[in-house]
Structures are given as C-alpha cells and as structure tokens.
C-alpha cells in the first residue's frame, strides 16, 4: 500500500524490539523510545513528548492488541530517516482501545511528510484487519520474519492493484 516508502523497508530501518516494560501507555512509550535506534538529530525527550501529546488527543490503539503511536506532526526532514519501530511488550497493557483489548504490540511511526505518514498508517491498519496477521504478530516474529511477511503482503497489494 505505501507508494512513498515500503512498510517492509521502514520496519527494517526501525527495528523490532522485545520485552518492552511498562504498566501503562506512558511507561511503555517511555521504554520504547529509550530502546529504539533514533535517526540522527532526533532528540529522545522531544520524541516522547510529541508522542504523548498525540496520545492525549486520542489513543492510537487500533484494537486487536495493536497500537500505532506517532507524533502528530512530522519530526523528520529527510525521507531516508523515516522508520517504523515495532515493539512487543513484556505484558499487555490497557490502552483505551475501542475493543477494550489490552495492547501487546506497538508500531511506532516516524515520517517526514503527511503522504508517507498516511500511507504507512493505512498499510498497518489494513494488515491488522487480518486475523492471520494478528496471529503472526502474537508469535513475536523476528525482524527478518516480519520484514519478509510485509514484503509478501506488499507484493500481493501491488499485484491486486495491477488486476
């Protein structure tokens, strides 16, 4: 789905992290931003503040145990620095999801422009509508397995767009 940047490429750049602690969204997001590899020039505290401000407007839980935290405004100027970091939480946490299910996976999105950001949100949301993909996430796949799965999904989307 994302035409600007491949979701697989964004996750490959952002990384996959395991056993992120936290008893609530603020604590989990704090631990996640501490763990992740940030693009050059992006301040960890500024990122956390921007994400928490966005969460205060409306929680980013998609449902089915997944949330997509992100800053409200872009914080990157270089499209080559865009990334999606995936965090598997040590323990599922309440996240004010509409389906009331606790969140166990975070897809933290860092984009350089609105078009890329919306395409990334759409791709993740689309994937998370599939029980098969949700079951795959529940197994806490390796970065390599997740990136391969995303490449397969994106290839299927491209083929469907051609038909």
Is 96 a member of any domain?
A: yes
Is 97 a member of any domain?
A: yes
Query: Which one is catalytic: 64, 70, 117, 126?
Result: 70
Is 140 a member of any domain?
A: yes
Is 57 a member of any domain?
A: yes
- What CATH number does residue 118 fall under? 3.40.930.10
Is 2 a member of any domain?
A: no
Residues in the chain: 163
Is 129 a member of any domain?
A: yes
pLDDT tens digit sequence for 103-129: 999 999 999 999 999 999 999 999 999
pLDDT tens digit sequence for 122-139: 999 999 999 999 999 999
Instruction: Say what the pLDDT of residue 1 is.
Output: 39
**Is 70 tagged catalytic?**
yes
Please give the average per-residue pLDDT across 20-47, as a whole number.
Answer: 96
Instruction: Say what the pLDDT of residue 4 is.
Output: 64
**Packing angle between helix 7-14 and helix 114-127, nearest 10 degrees?**
100
User: pLDDT tier at 162 (50, 70, 90 boundaries)?
Assistant: confident
- What's the whole-model pTM score? 0.94
The count of domains in the chain is 1
Instruction: Say what the pLDDT of residue 3 is.
Output: 41
Please give the average per-residue pLDDT across 129-153, as a whole number.
Answer: 97
Is 1 a member of any domain?
A: no
Say if residue 163's pLDDT is above 90.
Answer: no
More reliable by pLDDT, 133 or 157 = 133
Is 134 a member of any domain?
A: yes
Instruction: Say what the pLDDT of residue 2 is.
Output: 37
Instruction: Return d(Cα 91, Cα 103) in angstroms, integer.
Output: 9
Domain around 40: 7-162
Please give the average per-residue pLDDT across 80-94, as a whole number.
Answer: 97
Instruction: Say what the pLDDT of residue 38 is.
Output: 94
User: Which own/partner pairs from 42-45 qualify as long-range (CB within 8 Å, at least 24 positions apart)?
Assistant: 42/75, 42/76, 42/81, 42/110
Please give the average per-residue pLDDT across 19-43, as a whole number.
Answer: 96
């Amino acid at each position: 789905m994302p035409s600007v940047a491949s979701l697989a490429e964004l996750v490959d750049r952002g990384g996959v992290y395991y056993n992120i602690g936290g008893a609530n969204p603020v604590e989990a997001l704090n631990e996640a931003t501490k763990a992740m590899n940030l693009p050059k020039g992006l301040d960890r505290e500024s990122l956390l503040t921007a994400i928490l401000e966005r969460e205060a407007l409306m929680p980013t839980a998609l449902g089915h145990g997944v949330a997509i935290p992100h800053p409200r405004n872009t914080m990157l100027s270089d499209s080559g620095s865009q990334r999606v970091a995936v965090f598997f939480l040590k323990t599922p946490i309440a996240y004010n999801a509409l389906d009331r299910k606790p969140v166990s996976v975070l897809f933290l999105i860092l984009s350089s422009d609105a078009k890329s950001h919306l395409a990334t949100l759409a791709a993740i949301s689309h994937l998370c509508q599939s029980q098969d993909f949700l079951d795959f996430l529940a197994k806490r796949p390796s970065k390599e397995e997740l990136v391969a799965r995303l490449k397969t999904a994106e290839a299927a989307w491209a083929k469907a767009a051609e038909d």
